Amino acid sequence: MPRQSIFDMKVSKVYPLLLQKVERKGRTKEELDAVIAWLTGYDMEKVNQDMTYGSFFENAPMMNSRASLIKGKICGIAVESIEDPLMQKIRWLDKLVDELAKGKPLDKILR
């Protein structure tokens, strides 16, 4: 079975995985939603869960102008060095979710 690209996965498939990750570490849905809202401008209660993850980022209401301050590695790759703008946005969220799951205070995550 061929691997599905992250760009083509539905938000309804990816969001529960992000939520699971933060809840396993004692964080909340509200904190995850706050991180997503800060980065993308989305209200997760109103997001079309059937849209692809690629569309989710391409059509974000308002990507945060401070997102470029997100630094660090995801899967051994520095997020600031990712050349594909869409993949970089996805990895920014991954990095923020990692920080949330590791217990970093929300005010520090939201640069």
Give DSSP secondary structure letters for 58-107: HT-S---TTGGG--SEETTEEGGG--SHHHHHHHHHHHHHHHHHTT--HH
Which fold is adopted by the domain 8-106? Answer: Helicase, Ruva Protein; domain 3 (1.10.8)
User: In the prediction, which pLDDT does 90 show?
Assistant: 97
Quote helix, strand, coil % in the chain, to nearest 5: 55, 5, 40
User: In the prediction, which pLDDT does 25 show?
Assistant: 96
pLDDT digits (tens, 9 = 90+) for 11-29: 999 999 999 999 999 999 9
> What contacts 110, CB < 8 A, 6 or more positions away?
34, 35, 38
Can you list the residues of the chain whose pLDDT is less than 70? 1-3
Q: Do the Cβ atoms of 47 and 11 come closer than 8 Å?
A: yes
User: In the prediction, which pLDDT does 75 show?
Assistant: 87
Structure letter (DSSP) for residue 26: T
Q: Rounded CA gap, 21 and 74, in Å?
A: 15
User: In the prediction, which pLDDT does 27 show?
Assistant: 98
User: In the prediction, which pLDDT does 1 show?
Assistant: 56
| Sign of the CA dihedral with 44 first, then 46, 47, and 49 last | positive
Cα 100 to Cα 59, 71, 96: the distances in Å are 24, 14, 6
pTM for the structure as a whole? 0.92
